Amino acid sequence: MIVGNPLDRAEERRLHQHLHVLLEHGGPTSVACEVSALSMPDIGAVAALARLQLTARRLGSSILLRHASVELLELLAFVGLANVLPTG
* Residue 48, domain member (yes or no): yes
Structural domain containing residue 66: 9-78
- Please report how the helices 70-78 and 43-58 are oriented relative to each other, as an axis angle in degrees rounded to 10: 80
* Residue 1, domain member (yes or no): no
pTM: 0.91
* Residue 18, domain member (yes or no): yes
* Residue 2, domain member (yes or no): no
CB atoms within 10 A of CB 21: 10
Please count the structural domains in the chain.
1
> Tell me: the pLDDT tens digits for 29-57?
899 999 999 988 999 999 999 999 999 99
